[in-house]
Amino acid sequence: MILYNFAEMMTSHVVISQMDKRHPYQVNFTVAVHVCRHFLRSRDDEPPPDVEALIRKNILPIRPIRPGQKNTRKIRWKSVVSFVYRVA
């Protein structure tokens, strides 16, 4: 929980420059959590990593929804499986 809050705080301070005009960009939160974890685990004898620069370097494009494409997750429901055969 603390790591998530720390990563959320660090990503809110990162300014993302829009490299090209095709897509807006967002922070890759998975990489941000790993960078923050590395930062918190760094020892006093080694220099800490530049967290904001590493988060800014790992960004993802936000692609718009194309015509004819749905923005829904493809979730299939599964039938119920009985476990009566285990009771013997």
**pLDDT, average across residues 10-24:** 81
pLDDT, tens digit, for every residue of 29-86? 999 999 999 988 888 888 888 988 999 999 988 877 777 777 666 777 888 777 766 6
pTM beyond 0.75: no
pLDDT at 28: 92
Q: Is 82 left (phi over 0), alpha (psi -120 to 50) or beta?
A: beta
pLDDT at 66: 74
pLDDT at 32: 92
